[in-house]
Amino acid sequence: MRNEPVVQVQALVKRYGTKTAVDGLDLVAQAGVTAILGPNGAGKTTTVEICEGYRRPDSGTVRVLGLDPVGQSAELRPRIGVMLQSGGVYSGARAEEMLRHIAKLHAHPLDVDALVERLGLGSCGRTPYRRLSGGQQQRLALAMAVVGRPELVFLDEPTAGLDPQARRATWDLVRDLRADGVSVILTTHYMEEAEQLADDVAIVDAGRVIAQGSPEELCRGGAENTLRFTGRPGLDMDSLLKALPPGCTAAEPAPGTYRVVGTVDPQLLATVTSWCAQNGVMPDRISVERHTLEDVFLELTGKELRS
Amino acid sequence: MTPATGTGTYTPRPKAAPLPRMIAAQAALETRMLLRNGEQLLLTVVIPTLLLVLFSSVDIVDTGADRAVDFLAPGVLALAVMSTAFTGQAIATGFERRYGVLKRLAASPLPRWGLMTAKTASVLVTEVLQIVLLTVIAFALGWSPHGGPLAVLLLLVLGTAAFSGLGLLMAGTLRAEATLAAANLVFLLLLVGGGVVVPLEKFPAGVQEVLGLLPISALSGGLRDVLQHGAGMPWGDLGILAVWAVAGLAAAGKFFRWE
């Protein structure tokens, strides 16, 4: 249906005083769910807020749904949904009242009752915003972002500080949005969130995208994975190596403990187990260590994500 | 990975609501927020009502009029306008800015000028409620107003514009806490020094000249000239209010920061 990117950012630079928040960032987000992953201060929020039309770039170009977020803001705003990292609601407004208000600003909003039910806001619908729990405030902000039936939703750290149950409810909603053809750009510093939700992950550090791809591509790229098993000592590693695809290594670092390093996929696993079967070896404690986004991040930046 | 089509619950159907509907919804919400807020009601309803009743019934200040209420009612109407357009609007908008409400609404289909129009509408609705209430009380206290309604209306509208400009300037430039403190302080100072309940004649001559240029003095003085003394168009006071309105709104337009 839509093949043009939902977000195109080229050579984006944004400085606050002497501090460079975004430093030549390039990002192309296609329809689907794109996660912008990075530590605090990496420039995620600044980038998203420029896409939302809140700030002007110092240089570079930004197109959202093909539009300039500042110059064509009036055209863009009805088509996007925005969830800020915090706030955005009158402190005296009741949760449901605020959601209904945002709905009224759109011509074809979602059914508010159903959305309230869906996000578990029913019990606090009449509670003033200032007395909602942090999780309830987050869910209300999420509801406000989607109630106008936008094409594209920006979620800035949608699950920060949520308990596991509320996080799962948020994830489920993001999956449903995607299934119904809504594109989502979300920022997060949770690896698991990016792995669970995103078609595409952009890893951001120090104001730049340092890697981008599907979670699978990122975990595969560069980082070798390891398969381990134990068996009787002294198996013939040359014979195993011949069975393996090119580029793999096989070794017995300790007697009876074996390690295969390479691109570990189902095919490789089958190769190793059938070699074992041919050689009458029962591979005990077989395990695969696949690299996670966390490892990828560590390798790319040399630092932990949650710093 | 294939983009979905068809009609799911969330299938995009983006479109802004018609502009008049958005502005009406926004104005209704702003008015509800104001009427629900205890501190705001104290400022906009309780204080003007108390001053009107108290100073009319008890001879605290020599108002020089036959009936104190004839002097007080125009002043309290001016105070009501100031309390809503300036103090109330400044404090509410300051906290909306602080809590990201203005930011969130700026990403909604409602244009910024639409938000400002809604705020003005909400101020006007509140003022109508205040004026109805205070007028009824003043009549009950024996008020007998004179003068033409057009002059009164013009004074109220220009006064609202002047105070809105100043209130928004304060809300859009200071921190919310500073706005809260400053708006209340200004309210108190202008209440005392702006001819609301204390005649300007009570102040030394030189001070009177300066106080007479304040928007509250122009509004209370103009309303008093018309309603108490039956004067025609109070051009001088209207002129002072117009200058404040233009300067305040222009400065607010230039310096207002949305977050």
A222 versus B9: which is more confidently predicted?
B9
Q: Could you tell me if residue A297 is inside a domain? A: no
Residue A307 lies in a domain: no
Q: Do B103 and A32 touch (CB under 8 A)?
A: no
Q: What is the pLDDT of residue A305?
A: 60
CB contact under 8 A, A148 and B100: no
Q: Please determine, for residue A266, whether its predicted confidence score (pLDDT) is greater than 90.
A: no
Amino acid at B4: A
Position A196 in a domain: yes
Q: Do A87 and B5 touch (CB under 8 A)?
A: no
User: Residue A304's CB: how many other CB atoms inside 10 A?
Assistant: 10
Q: Is A237 a member of any domain?
A: yes
Q: Specify the CATH number for the domain of residue A279.
A: 3.30.70.1560
Interval A214-243 mean pLDDT: 83
My answer on whether A127 and A55 are in the same domain is yes
Distance CA B26, CA B32 (A): 10
**Contact B12/A at CB under 8 A:** yes
Whether A135 and A15 map to the same domain: the answer is: yes
- Are residue A186 and residue A281 in the same domain, yes or no? no
pLDDT digits (tens, 9 = 90+) for A36-88: 998 888 999 999 999 999 999 999 999 999 999 999 999 999 999 999 999 99
Query: Which of A54, A86, A108 comes nearest B13 by C-beta?
Result: A108
CA distance A106 to chain B (A): 4
Nearest by CB: A106 against B4, B11, B17? B17
Q: What is the ipTM of this complex?
A: 0.89
Residue A304 is predicted with a pLDDT of 66
- In the 8-state DSSP scheme, what is residue A68? -
What is the pLDDT, as a whole number, of residue A145?
Answer: 98
Separation CA A306–CA A294 (nearest Å): 10
Q: Are residues A190 and A73 part of one domain? A: yes
A194 and A53 share a domain? yes
Q: How confident is the model at residue A307 (pLDDT cuts 50, 70, 90)?
A: very low
CB of B113 within 8 Å of a chain A CB? The answer is no
A92 to chain B: which residues are within 8 Å by CB?
A: 33, 36-37
Count: domains in chain A: 2
pLDDT of residue A21: 95
Q: In residues, how long is chain A?
A: 307
Quote the CA–CA distance of B55 and B62 in Å, as a whole number.
10
The predicted structure's pLDDT at residue B27: 97
State residue B65's pLDDT score.
61
What's chain A's average pLDDT? 91
Give the CATH number, domain containing residue A103: 3.40.50.300
Listed as ranges, residues in chain B with pLDDT below 50 are 1-4
Note whether A229 and A170 are same-domain residues: no
pLDDT of residue A291: 73
Could you tell me if B257 lies within 8 Å of chain A, comparing CB atoms?
no
Shortest alpha-carbon distance between residue A249 and chain B (Å) = 34
Q: Is B143 exposed, middle or buried (0-12, 13-18, 19+ CB in 10 A)?
A: buried
To the nearest whole Å, the CA of A2 is away from the closest chain B CA by 7
DSSP B18: P
- pLDDT digit string, tens, across residues B16-74: 999 999 999 999 999 999 999 999 999 999 999 999 999 988 877 777 767 889 999 99
Residues A62 and A25 in one domain: yes
Whether pTM > 0.95 for this model: the answer is: no
CB of B20 within 8 Å of any CB in chain A?
no
Q: Where are the beta strands (DSSP E) in chain A?
A: 7-16, 19-29, 33-37, 59-64, 80-83, 152-156, 183-188, 200-205, 208-213, 225-230, 249-254, 257-262, 284-289
A139 and A164, same domain (yes or no)? yes
Question: Could you report the per-residue pLDDT of A121-151, keeping only the tens digit for each?
Answer: 999 999 999 999 999 999 999 999 999 999 9
Report the residue of chain A nearest B20, measured CA to CA: A105
Within this chain, do residues A205 and A280 fall inside the same structural domain, yes or no? no
Domain boundary among A169, A185, A220: A220
A107 and A15 fall within a common domain: yes
Best of A76, A97, A106, A112 to disrupt the B interface (most B CBs within 10 Å) is A106
Q: Which of A220, A236, A258 is the last residue of a domain?
A: A220
Residue A18 lies in a domain: yes
* Contact (Cβ atoms closer than 8 angstroms) between residue B12 and residue A181: yes
How far is A280 from A239, CA to CA, in rounded Å?
13
The pLDDT of residue A139: 94
CB B75 within 8 A of CB B197: yes
Q: What is the pLDDT of residue B45?
A: 96
To test the contact with chain A by mutation, choose from B1, B5, B10 the residue with the greatest count of A C-beta atoms within 10 A, namely: B10
The residue with tokens 């070896």 is A281
Does residue A299 belong to any structural domain of this protein? no
Q: Any residues with CB less than 8 A from the CB of A75 and at least 6 apart, and which? A: A67
Q: Nearest C-alpha of chain B: how many angstroms from A143?
A: 12
Same domain, A234 and A134: no
Most A CBs within 10 Å, among B5, B7, B13, B32, to test the A interface: B13
Bridge partners (DSSP) of residue A251 are A259
* Beta bridge partner(s), residue A15: A20
Question: Within this chain, do residues A129 and A276 fall inside the same structural domain, yes or no?
Answer: no
Q: Are strands A200-205 and A208-213 parallel, antiparallel or unpaired?
A: antiparallel
Q: What local confidence, expressed as pLDDT, does residue A306 receive? A: 54
| Mean pLDDT, chain B, whole residue set | 93
Contact B24, B41 (CB under 8 A): no
Q: Report the half-sphere exposure of B251 (CA within 13 A, side-chain side).
A: 18
List Cβ neighbours of A21 (8 Å cut-off, separation of 6 or more): A14, A15, A43, A46, A207
Tokens describing residue A283 = 């591979």
How many Cβ pairs closer than 8 A exist between chain A and B? 129
Range of the domain at A259: 225-290
Q: Is residue A108 part of a domain?
A: yes
Domain boundary among A220, A243, A270: A220
